[in-house]
């Protein structure tokens, strides 16, 4: 019985994996980043356009695609291009803005 108790005490006294809580600076920076992303989202919804510079699908992009689609000779490829362009043009702003916000937040760290 004493041997079992000794083993338990030894096992409980080892440090194991250490968890260190994030510093106040890390938490503050992450919160500021997330606030920035939310502000951009609110602005995006207000103007009904995407705010991300790497947005690959939006009204402006769709217009540019339309011009490129007209230059495609193959009818099947032209239809596919036009369908893609229509998809971009008709996306809901909340969806586009939400995707941009999610990308922004993913770059905030801590997640």
Residue 110 has pLDDT above 60, yes or no: no
Do residues 36 and 104 touch, judged by C-beta distance below 8 A?
yes
pLDDT mean over 17-36: 81
Q: Which pLDDT does position 4 carry in this prediction?
A: 55
Instruction: Report d(CA 71, CA 51) in Å as an integer.
Output: 29
Residue 15 has pLDDT above 80, yes or no: no
Do residues 34 and 108 touch, judged by C-beta distance below 8 A?
yes
Residue 98 DSSP label: H
Q: Which residue has the higher pLDDT, 72 or 111?
A: 72
Tell me the per-residue pLDDT of 44-89, one tens digit each, with 9 for 90 and over: 888 754 444 445 665 566 667 777 888 889 999 999 988 888 877 7
Mean pLDDT score of the chain, rounded to an integer? 75
Q: Which residues contact 104 (CB under 8 A, 6 or more apart)?
A: 33, 36, 37, 40, 41, 52
Q: Could you tell me the residue ranges of all domains in the chain?
A: 30-48+58-106
SS3 call for 50: coil
Instruction: Report d(CA 57, CA 87) in Å as an integer.
Output: 8
Instruction: Report d(CA 83, CA 66) in Å as an integer.
Output: 10
């Amino acid at each position: 019985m004493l041997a079992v108790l000794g083993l338990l005490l030894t096992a409980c006294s080892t440090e194991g994996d250490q968890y260190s809580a994030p510093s106040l600076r890390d938490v503050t920076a992450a919160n500021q980043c997330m606030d920035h992303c939310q502000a951009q989202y609110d602005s995006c919804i207000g103007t009904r356009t995407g705010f991300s510079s790497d947005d690959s699908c939006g009204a402006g992009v769709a217009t540019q695609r339309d011009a490129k689609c007209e230059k495609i000779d193959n009818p099947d490829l032209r239809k596919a291009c036009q369908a893609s362009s229509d998809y971009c043009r008709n996306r809901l702003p909340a969806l586009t803005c939400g995707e941009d916000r999610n990308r922004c937040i993913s770059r905030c760290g801590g997640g």
